[in-house]
Amino acid sequence: MPKLYLAPMEGVLDFTLRELLTHQVGIDQCVTEFIRVSDRLLPRSVFLRLAPELNQGGCTRSGVPVFLQLLGSDPSLLAENAAKAAELGAPGIDLNFGCPAKTVNKSRGGAVLLKEPDLIHDIVCAVRKAVPMNTPVTAKMRLGFADKSLAIENAQSIETAGASSLTIHARTKLEGYKPPAHWEWIAKIRDAVDMHLIANGEVWTQQDYWRCKILSGCEDVMLGRGMLSNPFLAETLVTQQNQSIEVSWIRLLPLLERYSKQVITDLSERHVHGRIKQWLNMLRWHYPQAESLFTQIRTEKDPRVILQKIQSAQHETPAIS
């Protein structure tokens, strides 16, 4: 059976959203936001803050495993932290070779490492050696930093170092998030490695999904922004049944309400409105209905008022019989 993975998204796809999105049909595996390893063995509290699933067997409440993602450039430090994450119960360790953020790249982390296939090899090797054999070590990379000339070499470094799976976001760091994603490049990498590959980038619809699979030659696909703009995307891909946008919106509103309530409970009051607006903003990409709700709360900062508007939207939306 082809698998669907939920992408790691720092500052966006946190525990609450992972819970909510894996409660829907379709997602088989998740990855946490990256945990930055720069100079020390991190305390347990840092792992638990970014991966509260460690308190529940490393899975979301729906039983979907959540791999813990590390980002850094020092092989032995990453190994030490990976061992700790495994000891805390992470079902797998994922290594980040794709983050394009300037601050991260400046301190030799994320996509900048794609210029150094040997270092990538050493990192994966050290982490593989440090965690128990039954803890999978996986990696996620872009096609390169400035160009794609080292794409195959980097994938081979990851494979020979012992990673069990590699997700490829089919763009370079310089290409950022600008469409298109170059899925055909994943097929080129496939020809050069034997490891399990997962295709990622620009899958928003059923049509994108099938084109991505055909062009990349991958069975398995990772969904990021597409899943945030349409939380039922994975369900649609698995069931191959399209629902109307009206029905989808009616199903979505209670999720948005649940998310808002959770954020109100978890975050300090001044951070709540930003978080809710962030998701609603992404929902606008798929739901025309999200536009008017977004307009209503755009300048609102009081979480209770925002929640009321979301609840009113539910009451105003006619039920579909």
Binding site for ligand FMN (CB under 6 A): 7-12, 33-34, 69, 96, 98-99, 140, 169, 200-203, 223-226
Helix (H, G, I), strand (E, B) or coil at 137: strand
- The Cα 76–Cα 53 span in angstroms is 25
Residue type, 279: W
Work out how close the CB of 167 gets to ligand FMN at its nearest, in angstroms, rounded to a whole number: 7
**CB of 203 vs ligand FMN, minimal distance in Å:** 5
Least distance CB 51 / ligand FMN (angstroms): 12
Contact of 314 with 254, CB cutoff 8 Å: yes
CB of 52 to ligand FMN, least distance (A): 16
Report how far residue 80's alpha carbon sits from residue 94's, in angstroms, rounded to the nearest whole number. Answer: 14
Helical (H) or strand (E) element with 154: helix 151-160
Rounded Cα–Cα distance for residues 264 and 272 (Å): 6
Of the pair 14, 74, the CB lying nearest ligand FMN is at 14
Residues 6+ away with beta carbon under 8 Å from 115: 145, 150
Residue whose CB is less far from ligand FMN, 126 or 170: 170
State the catalytic residue, choosing from 99, 125, 212, 218: 99
Closer to ligand FMN by Cβ: residue 219 or 246: 219
Identity of the residue, 128 or 140, whose beta carbon is nearer to ligand FMN in the bound complex: 140
Is the CB of residue 228 less than 8 Å from the CB of residue 12? yes
Active site residue 99: yes
Give the separation between CA 274 and CA 199, rounded to whole angstroms.
31
Q: Which residue has the CB atom at the shortest distance from ligand FMN?
A: 224
Active site residues per annotation: 99
